[in-house]
Chain A
Amino acid sequence: MKYDVRQLPLLSNEEIAQGIFDMRLRYEQDDLPVSCGQFAHVYVPGKTLRRPISVCDASDGVLRLVYQVKGEGTRLMSQMKGGSVDVLVPLGNGFDIQKGRRYCLIGGGIGVPPMLYTAKQCDDPLIITGFRNKSLVILQDDLRSQGETLLCTDDGTAGRQGFVTDLLRERINEVDEVCACGPTPMLKAVAAVCKESGKPCRVSLEERMGCGVGACLVCAVKVRKNGEEIMQHVCKDGPVFNAEEVVF
């Protein structure tokens, strides 16, 4: 059996920036290895749907999920204390990181967390992070321990003022491939910069999700394969897609 629901002991669940929480669960990697860019489908008692959260880190027996409170489900999730959490993990296809290539990892806002575990798989990655403003900046120390980390904000209250694509344009010649996660307009802009420079680009997408395993077909994304537009699904075919194939 490929899938299983796990009851993972909740170690901590703390607010690390405005409305952004860091949930840590006890998790044995050897038991069920997680690849970077995969996600966990978290059961929230009282809710009909699980919440899909990208894996921020899975090291030293701890599964780390960094998430933003967006609605009632994530609000309830942020109030979880002690006990265990019912999690369906690992799900989806993550980033394919290969030795001997230099990667630029780009995270925008709540798209930054999966880049930490991804950075851990890379040799000397260049990491670019962007946020709306200072109050939303997260994970800078964690990321800096994995490679050169650049920071920008829309309003200039932390790091450089501007967008991740401004920084990417300046440094894209130093890398072989780009991996990105963040809001769709950002991903679209990153994909365009990569295309101009002829660099491969992988993007991690988000869509309102149901089952999490590819059965209910709600988290649809339009992709172009062999010249034909088809619907694929974030949970099973993604969340990571080849940017060139995504019909943004």
Chain B
Amino acid sequence: MADLSVSVAGVRFENPLIAASGTFGFGREYGEFYPLGTLGGISCKGITLHRRDGNPPPRIAETPSGILNAVGLQNPGVDVFIREDLPWLKQQNTVVIANIAGNTVEEYCQMAEKLSDTDVDMIELNISCPNVKSGGVQFGTSCESVGNITSQVRAHCKKPLIVKLSPNVTDIASIAQAAEASGADAVSMINTLTGMRIDIRTRRPIIRNNTGGLSGAAVFPVAVRMVWQVANAVKIPIIGMGGITTWEDAVEMLMAGATALQIGTVLFSDPYAPVKINEGLNRFLDENGIKSVTELTGTVKPW
């Protein structure tokens, strides 16, 4: 049995697998498949200051080896999350990460302040949602705006702060550096890549929002490349995600430079994927005489 535990910004995870925000709700549903302690952590569905109903359906379309989604941050609002979901989540023996999104920098700061007074373990700054009209990714696509929002939220946030990066940028490494320089404790990456599908019979985009975020195995090589680039540019830990489907993918993402991992889309085909990935990781470590999963991080030997 190798040691699967990892530490990100001083927070210990029993294993490196974290449910990715937006695919896992607030945990209750997948808690009906297995104890949520199976996961190292849960990044909760993105929450906003006030309730949001999200986009009209259809909100999802399948694509080659992936999906497009445009849910549009449907959530009950931060106060309901704190009152009704967080107490339950904190009993599940897993790290609880609150993913926050706002229309304005002030909204992000207000939420960070509210959550700082709760038992939430970490805060993930969602400045990379491609599916909302205002806010979301508009904060995440330039070094100036990422630096600005990160430092402002940092001033209101007593919890370890993760900044979730968008891949829809020209140079993700410089964006990560801006987050690091402005006080981020970690970065998580990558959020979805903006995409589009069209129904050729109706000439209508399949997704009602016209465009959506691409996730799943299709984006995995892009994610690995970006994690590798960012690992070479920053010192803070990286939570790697984007299309991780198998335990081999998990190993690859760690080797690229990730300290912990988030998994999402694979849950839709196999709810038990986290269990299988952890088993495979453990086997790989044992077979290679590696005592701790942390020894894999950043060990790629580039040509």
Contacts and interface: CB of A to CB of B under 8 A. Distances in A.
The reply to whether chain A is a binding partner of chain B is yes
Interface of A: 1-5, 43, 47-50, 73, 88, 207-222, 229-231, 236
The 8 closest A-B pairs by CB, nearest first: A2-B32, A215-B25, A218-B60, A218-B59, A215-B29, A213-B29, A208-B58, A3-B32
A211 B62 contact: no
Given A2-B32, A3-B32, A208 B267 contact: no
B268 A220 contact: no
Contacts of A212: 268
A73 B60 CA distance: 14
A104 B32 CA distance: 35
Contacts of B29: 3, 211, 213-215, 236
Nearest to B243: A48
Interface of B: 22-25, 29-30, 32-34, 45, 53-63, 65-67, 69, 71, 74, 206, 216-217, 265, 267-272
Contact of A5 (B63, B69, B217, B271): B271
Nearest to B23: A216
Nearest to A44: B269
A216 B45 CA distance: 8
A210 B52 CA distance: 20
Contact of A49 (B22, B33, B268, B272): B268
Nearest to B26: A215
5 contacts: A48-B65, A213-B30, A215-B29, A216-B69, A236-B29
Given A73-B62, A207-B58, A230 B53 contact: yes
B269 A221 contact: no
B71 A43 contact: no
A2 B271 CA distance: 13
A7 to B, nearest CB: 12
B27 to A, nearest CB: 8
A229 B32 CA distance: 28
B67 A220 contact: no
A49 B32 contact: no
Nearest to A221: B57
Nearest to B265: A48
Nearest to A71: B62
A236 B25 CA distance: 12
Contact of B62 (A4, A5, A48, A236): A48
Given A213-B32, A216-B71, 11 more contacts: A48-B265, A48-B268, A208-B206, A210-B23, A210-B67, A213-B29, A214-B29, A216-B24, A221-B57, A222-B56, A229-B53
A221 B74 CA distance: 12
Contact of B60 (A43, A88, A208, A229): A208
Given A1-B34, A73-B62, A49 B67 contact: yes
Nearest to A234: B57
Contacts of A231: 53-54, 74
Nearest to B58: A208
A219 B58 CA distance: 7
A155 B206 CA distance: 29
A5 B270 CA distance: 8
B25 A214 contact: yes
Contacts of B57: 207-208, 218-221
